[in-house]
C-alpha cells in the first residue's frame, strides 16, 4: 500500500488549495509514489533482460559507460513510457502550485507585510544584485521562475510556490514543516562534532528557511543567517520565519561570493545546493564556505549522492534528471568525489567526514555510515539516500 501524504503545515503564509486543487496535487503525488515503487524499479529488469542483451548482440560487448546505457535505455519503449510520465508529473505539480499561489497572492503578500512589520530577525536585499548567468539560464527542476524571479517590490510568489510545491516534489520527505533536511543536518553535526557550540551559523542557499530553522532550534543562542539569490523567495522566507517566531537573518547574496569577513561563522552548512550549481561556481562556493568558517569551526553539507560506486544502470537512473528534469548540473555533481571536493575548497582531506541518510514520507531521517546495504544496492533505493559530507577547519 502506498503511504498517505499529509498536507504541509498551514502556517500564516502557506497557500491553501480548494477542493479541486488539492485533488490535483494529491493525484500527482500519489502517481509519483506509484512510479517510485512500481515503475522505476523495473527499468533495471528491462535493462538486464532486454536492452543489454540487445546491445551485446549488436556490439559484441557489454556497455562500458553511463552514456552508452543512457542512449540504450532511452531507445526502449518502457523507459520512454515512464520518462514521459515523470516529466509530465513535474510540470503538473508546478502548474498546480502556481495556480494555488496566484489565486491567493494578495492575501499572502498582506500576511508577509503584517508578519514582517515588527521583525525579530532581518531581511537584507541588494537592489544591485546580479543573478549569476547559470541560474538565469534555466528554471531549475522545471519550477517556473526558478529561485531567481521577482515580479514586484513586494513579491513573494516564488517563495509561496516553493513552500507547498517542494513539499509535494519530495513526496512529503521533508516533513510537514519542511524541516526534515535541516533536522538531519543537526543530527549529523551533533553526532560528528558534539563539542561544537557555534555562536554564528550560516546556511548557504537557504531558500525559504526550511533547513535554517532547525539550526536555530538546535543552537538557540547562536546568530543564524541564511543567504540566497532571489528577492521574492527571501522575502517570503523572512515573513514565514517571523510568523513561526524564528529569529533568522536573511540576506540576498550568492554562495560563490559571500560578503562576510574571514572566519566569521562557527558552523557553515548547505543543503541540496551543489547539484544546482555550475562547475565553476561550485568550486568557488566551497572555497568561500571554507573562508568564512572560523578556525576550529565546521562546514557540513548534504546533497544527492556520489554515483561513482553505482552500477552503470543505476548511474543512468541517478542522472536522468540532468537530461529531462531541468537539472543541468546534476550529472557533474554525481561524478564528484565529495572528500576530494572538500579538499579542493581548502579543507584537510584526511578529516572530511561522509555519512548517508534515508528518509521516510514524514521527514524522518536515519543516518548511516555506508552508502549501500541489503535494501539499497541499485536503482531502487540507493539513489534516494542523501549524502552528507563535512569537515572541521584547521585551527
- Within the chain, residue ranges assigned H as helices are 19-38, 42-46, 52-59, 66-74, 77-103, 105-115, 133-136, 157-169, 180-192, 213-218, 231-243, 279-292, 312-324, 330-334, 338-344
Q: How far apart are the two ends of the chain, measured CA to CA in Å? A: 52
Residue 388, SS3 per DSSP: strand
Residue 274 near residue 306 (C-beta atoms within 8 A): no
State pTM to two decimals: 0.96
Length of the chain: 395
For helices 66-74 and 77-103, what crossing angle results, to 10°? 80
Which pLDDT score is estimated for 362?
81
pLDDT tens digit sequence for 272-297: 999 999 999 999 999 999 999 999 99
Which pLDDT score is estimated for 375?
46
Tens-level pLDDT at each residue, the chain (395 residues): 777 888 999 999 999 999 999 999 999 999 999 998 899 989 999 999 999 999 999 999 999 999 999 999 999 999 999 999 999 999 999 999 999 999 999 999 999 999 999 999 999 999 999 999 999 999 999 999 999 999 999 999 999 999 999 999 999 989 999 999 999 999 999 999 999 999 999 999 999 999 999 999 999 999 999 999 999 999 999 999 999 999 999 999 999 999 999 999 999 999 999 999 999 999 999 999 999 999 999 999 999 988 888 889 989 999 999 999 999 999 999 999 999 999 999 999 999 999 988 888 788 888 888 776 554 444 444 445 789 999 999 98
For helices 52-59 and 66-74, what crossing angle results, to 10°? 110
Residue 388 near residue 377 (C-beta atoms within 8 A): no
Residue 285 near residue 273 (C-beta atoms within 8 A): yes
**Contacts of range 75-82, beta carbons closer than 8 Å, 24 or more positions apart:** 75/51, 76/46, 76/50, 76/51, 78/42, 78/43, 78/46, 79/43, 79/46, 82/35, 82/39, 82/40, 82/43
The CA distance from 324 to 9, in Å, is: 30
Per domain, the residue ranges of the chain are 1-395
Extract the C-alpha cell encoding 209. Answer: 528557511
**CATH architecture group of domain 1-395:** 3-Layer(aba) Sandwich (3.40)
The CA distance from 88 to 86, in Å, is: 5
CB count in 10 Å sphere of residue 381: 16
Amino acid at each position: 500500500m502506498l503511504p498517505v501524504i499529509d498536507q504541509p503545515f498551514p502556517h500564516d503564509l502557506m497557500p491553501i488549495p480548494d477542493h479541486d486543487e488539492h485533488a490535483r496535487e494529491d493525484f500527482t503525488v500519489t502517481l509519483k509514489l506509484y512510479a517510485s515503487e512500481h515503475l522505476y524499479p523495473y527499468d533495471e529488469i528491462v535493462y538486464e533482460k532486454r536492452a543489454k542483451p540487445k546491445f551485446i548482440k549488436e556490439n559484441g560487448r557489454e556497455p562500458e559507460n553511463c552514456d552508452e546505457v543512457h542512449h540504450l535505455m532511452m531507445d526502449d519503449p518502457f523507459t520512454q513510457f515512464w520518462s514521459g510520465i515523470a516529466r509530465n508529473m513535474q510540470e503538473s505539480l508546478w502548474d498546480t502550485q502556481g495556480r494555488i499561489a496566484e489565486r491567493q497572492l494578495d492575501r499572502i503578500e498582506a500576511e508577509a507585510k503584517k508578519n514582517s512589520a515588527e521583525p525579530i530577525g532581518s531581511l537584507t536585499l541588494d537592489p544591485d544584485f546580479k543573478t549569476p548567468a547559470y541560474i538565469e539560464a534555466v528554471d531549475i527542476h522545471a519550477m517556473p521562475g526558478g529561485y531567481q524571479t521577482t515580479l514586484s517590490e513586494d513579491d513573494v510568489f516564488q517563495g509561496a510556490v516553493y513552500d507547498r510545491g517542494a513539499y509535494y516534489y519530495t513526496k512529503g520527505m521533508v516533513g510537514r514543516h519542511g524541516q526534515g533536511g535541516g533536522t538531519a543536518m543537526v543530527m549529523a553535526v551533533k553526532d560528528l562534532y558534539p563539542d561544537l557550540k557555534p555562536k554564528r551559523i550560516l546556511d548557504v542557499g537557504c531558500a525559504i528557511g526550511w533547513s535554517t530553522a532547525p539550526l536555530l532550534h538546535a543552537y538557540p543562542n547562536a546568530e543564524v543567517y541564511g543567504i540566497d539569490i532571489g528577492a521574492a523567495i527571501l522575502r517570503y522566507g523572512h515573513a514565514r520565519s517571523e510568523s513561526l517566531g524564528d529569529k533568522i537573518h536573511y540576506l540576498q547574496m550568492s554562495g560563490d561570493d559571500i560578503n562576510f569577513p574571514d572566519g566569521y561563522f562557527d558552523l557553515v552548512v548547505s543543503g541540496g545546493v551543489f547539484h544546482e550549481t555550475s562547475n565553476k561556481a561550485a568550486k568557488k562556493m566551497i572555497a568561500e564556505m571554507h573562508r568564512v568558517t572560523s578556525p576550529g569551526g565546521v562546514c557540513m553539507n548534504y546533497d544527492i549522492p556520489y554515483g561513482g560506486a553505482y552500477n552503470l544502470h543505476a548511474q543512468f537512473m541517478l542522472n536522468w534528471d540532468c537530461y529531462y528534469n531541468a537539472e543541468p548540473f546534476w550529472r557533474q555533481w554525481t561524478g564528484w568525489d565529495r572528500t576530494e571536493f572538500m579538499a579542493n575548497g581548502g579543507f584537510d582531506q584526511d578529516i572530511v567526514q561522509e555519512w548517508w541518510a534515508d528518509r521516510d514520507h514524514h521527514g524522518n531521517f536515519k543516518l548511516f555510515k555506508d552508502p549501500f546495504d541489503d535494501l539499497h544496492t541499485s536503482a531502487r533505493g540507493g539513489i534516494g539516500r542523501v549524502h552528507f559530507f563535512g569537515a572541521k577547519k584547521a585551527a
